Structure 1
Amino acid sequence: MITTGLLLAAGQGSRLRAVTPFKPLCPVAGRALIDHALDGMAAAGLTRAIVSLGYGADAIAAHLAGRQWPLEVVTVMTDYHQPNGVSALAARALIGPQGAVLAMCDHLVQPRHYRRLARAGAGDGLRLGIDRRLGHAWVDPLDVTCVATRGDGIVAIGKGLEPHDCYDTGIFAVSQRFFEVLATLDSPSLTEGVRLLAAEGSAKIVDCSDLDWLDVDDAPAFAHAEGWMTKLAA
């Protein structure tokens, strides 16, 4: 089982700026998004989390330093103007041969989502948690990353992809091979990394259609998140 998490928390979060200046610190049901993620990783059995910081790094680092965490938390710095693959590559040297559970800080999930990917492992490239519930009310069809699969393999991925048969939930198990592939790209994004691994047959899926998740990227998604987390805490 993978025991290291990699949390990407470097983006500007401009569509949530009316709610919070720094998206990872956005309070959802009384807790910052980054707290939900780190506590969830710990509950899933991960023992270390590497957090990639960029926009608002000082404020987020101060927040991280302000409490005791149930797992080891390490931060790395990245250029938030660059694609998200650069944020992942910033942590490459800290990822062991076992790989990591890679997650977006703004993707709100339950601990068992992380645990499922950690137990599945990265294989020879990566495994991506997917959701086959097309048209789910919580999913923004204009923003969600769509995936086309054949068997347990990914054959295509991208926003606006047609045809597609599932959604990218934003939670991965990634190996060192994933970082090797990202490093070959001039403008490395996670999606491009997945495409390259899919071409060599080493991008696989883990079905997470039974697990709720939410990309907290704008005000409507924030409202959904508030209702969901408040209900779970009740």
Structure 2
Amino acid sequence: MIDTAVLLAAGHGSRLRAQAPYKPLCPVAGRPLIDHALAGLARAGLSRAIVVLGYGAAAIEEHLAARHWPLAVETVLTRDHHQPNGVSVLAAAPRLAGRPAVLAMCDHLVTPALYARMAAVDVGDGATLGIDRRIGHPWVDPDDVTWVRTQGGRIVAIGKGLAPADSYDTGVFAIGPGLFAALADLDAPSLTEGMRRLAETGRAGVVDCSDLDWIDVDDAAALAKAEAWQLALAA
């Protein structure tokens, strides 16, 4: 069972700037996105979270330091938040010291059971992605989501606008040292390109999470859907 999470929270979040100056602090049903993520990871059984910061790092660090969390929280800075998200993943590598982790996106609101499912993966020397086969789900923006094509429990293709495709990337992974090695070989390391590299050698697996809810809170429309979901859960 994986006990550590890497939470990416370094991006600009420009499409939610009207709602919050820094995306991780954008409130959803009264709680910042980063609070939802950390609470969900703890409920899933993880005991440690490495939060990768970049844009707005000082304000987010202050927010984290002012609260008591149900798991150990530490922060690390990406070397350049203007670079692709693989740079943020690499920033966490020294803290893991070769151990596996659950990789999650701070702006994805995820039911804790999805984190738990990925934490149970024996990832080996590669990475495994939680996928959703509910093509056409109203919470998913087809123009923004990363599409995945699979075969026999493995990724054979991944990317924006991919066709044909049979699933969505949920933004939750189980990762091992192989992903860091794949990213380190890239000039502009993106997570998607790192997964492509692993797929070439059959080391990019998938776990079907189509029965579990998640939403990428990337703009005002998605925020409204996320609010409605969370308020319905609380009712």
Shift of 1:98: 3.3
Alpha-carbon deviation of 1:18? 1.1
Q: Which residue of 2 aligns with 1:113?
A: 114
SS of the aligned residue for 2:120 comes to helix
Q: Hey, what's the Cα distance between the residues in 2 that align with 1:230 and 1:119?
A: 29
Q: Which runs of 5 or more structure 1 residues have no equivalent in the other structure?
A: none
Amino acid at match of 1:22: Y
Deviation at 1:124, TM superposition (A): 2.4
Cα deviation code 1:28-49 (max 9, x no counterpart): 0111000000011011010100
Aligned to 1:31: 31
User: 2:74, 2:17 → 1: CA distance?
Assistant: 26
Could you list the runs of 5+ residues in structure 2 that have no partner in the other structure? Answer: none
1:229 is matched with which residue? 230
Q: Deviations over 1:141-170 (max 9, x none)?
A: 100000000010000000000000000000
Q: Which residue of 2 aligns with 1:50?
A: 50
For residues 185-204 of structure 1, what are the structure 2 equivalents within 5 Å?
A: 185-204=186-205
Residue aligning to 1:205: 206
- Read off the aligned partner of 1:32 and give its amino acid letter: P
TM-score, normalized by length of structure 1?
A: 0.99
Shift of 1:123: 2.6
Aligned length: 234
Asked whether 1:82 is paired with 2:104, we answer no
2:205 is paired with a residue whose SS is strand
The aligned runs of 1:1-234 (5 Å cut-off) are 1-78=1-78, 79-234=80-235
Amino acid at match of 1:149: T
Find the residue that maps to 1:91 and give its secondary structure.
helix
Q: Identity across aligned pairs (percent)?
A: 67
Look up the equivalent residue of 2:24 and give its one-letter code: P
Q: Distance in 2 between matches of 1:29 and 1:208?
A: 24
Q: For structure 1, which segment, 189-198 or 113-122, has the greater mean C-alpha deviation from structure 2 after superposition?
A: 113-122
CA distance in 2: counterparts of 1:121 and 1:29, whole angstroms? 34
Question: Deviation at 1:188?
Answer: 0.2
How much does 1:202 deviate? 0.4
Report the CA distance between 1:121 and its aligned residue.
3.0
State the Cα distance separating 1:20 from its structure 2 match.
0.8
**3-state DSSP class of the match of 1:149?**
strand
